[in-house]
A = this chain, B = another copy of it.
Amino acid sequence: MQPGDTYSDRCPTRLILDRVGDKWAVLILGLLAEQPTRFNQLRRTIKGISQKMLSQTLKSLERDGLVKRRAIATVPVTVEYSITPLGRTLAQAVDPLRLWAEGNVKEVLAAQRRYDQSMEKTARVA
């Protein structure tokens, strides 16, 4: 096995692709790259994420050294998350992907419609 050979199933790089290929992780890192944010604020901003999923994803990101958790001694305690220097380099690497998704969404949806129509036609002929 080559070090860093993502095509080998024994390469730990594969584990990282799993993590950074996670939609929620990408969205959370994108927000934290702008500013440290409290748990409840993250939950409100990222539509459709459950409390459990947000909590799990933040824990994985913290374990990977990509975000930092800080408990603030308010009543009740509030928890704030911030991005680490390592996390910031990842957020920068993810950015072209997010921009691509935003810029090409129409073209992909059009391709999907064409594909589905051609499949329907094939089904009718068969």
Measuring CB to CB, which residues of chain A are less than 8 angstroms from any residue of chain B? Answer: 4, 6-10, 12-14, 16-23, 26-27, 30-31, 45-48, 62-66, 86, 89-90, 92-94, 96-105, 107-112, 114-116
Interface pair B12/A17, CB less than 8 Å apart? no
Interface pair B21/A112, CB less than 8 Å apart? no
Partner of A48, one of B9, B102, B108: B9
Interface pair A64/B16, CB less than 8 Å apart? no
Partner of A47, one of B9, B21, B47, B96: B9
Which A-B residue pairs are the 5 nearest by beta carbons?
Answer: A65-B111, A9-B48, A4-B102, A93-B100, A9-B47
A65 to B110, CA, bound (A): 9
Q: Which residues of B have CB within 8 Å of A65?
A: 107-108, 110-112, 114-115
Please classify the interface of chain A as helix (H, G, I), strand (E, B), loop, or mixed, using the class held by over half of its residues.
helix
Given contacts A23-B21, A26-B21, A108-B65, contact A16 B115 (CB under 8 A): no
Interface pair A20/B97, CB less than 8 Å apart? yes
Q: Which residues of B have CB within 8 Å of A109?
A: 12
Q: Write the nearest CB–CB distance from A44 to chain B, whole angstroms.
A: 10
Q: Write the nearest CB–CB distance from A66 to chain B, whole angstroms.
A: 8
